[in-house]
Amino acid sequence: MSETWEHYHHAARHHEQAAHHFTEAAKYEEAEEREKAAHHAYLARKHNQLAIHHDSGAAKLRAEQRDSSATSVIEQGARKKSAA
């Protein structure tokens, strides 16, 4: 699995976990169990931050891949012009 897809995979998993903890926090908040609600809200926020970290890591890798492929296309074009 490529490094980019690993980031996407981890981001998706953290988004799922964040959604689960937000749901749990809402349930505990409704039941007026403030401490448990706060704990799940904290966990949801942390998973959300990790998801954002992995999303940005994947975006950075994709940008680097695009830059390197664009550079190689430009270099190939330059070689063809100089050969002609």
Higher pLDDT, 42 or 71: 42
Return all residues near 19 (Cβ < 8 A) that are at least 6 apart: 44
Quote the domain boundaries for residue 25: 3-83
Higher pLDDT, 76 or 67: 67
Q: What is the pLDDT of residues 13-51, one digit of tens each?
A: 999 999 999 999 999 999 999 999 999 999 999 999 999
What pTM does this model have? 0.75
Stated as kind and residue range, the H or E segment containing 28 is helix 3-30
Domain count, the chain: 1
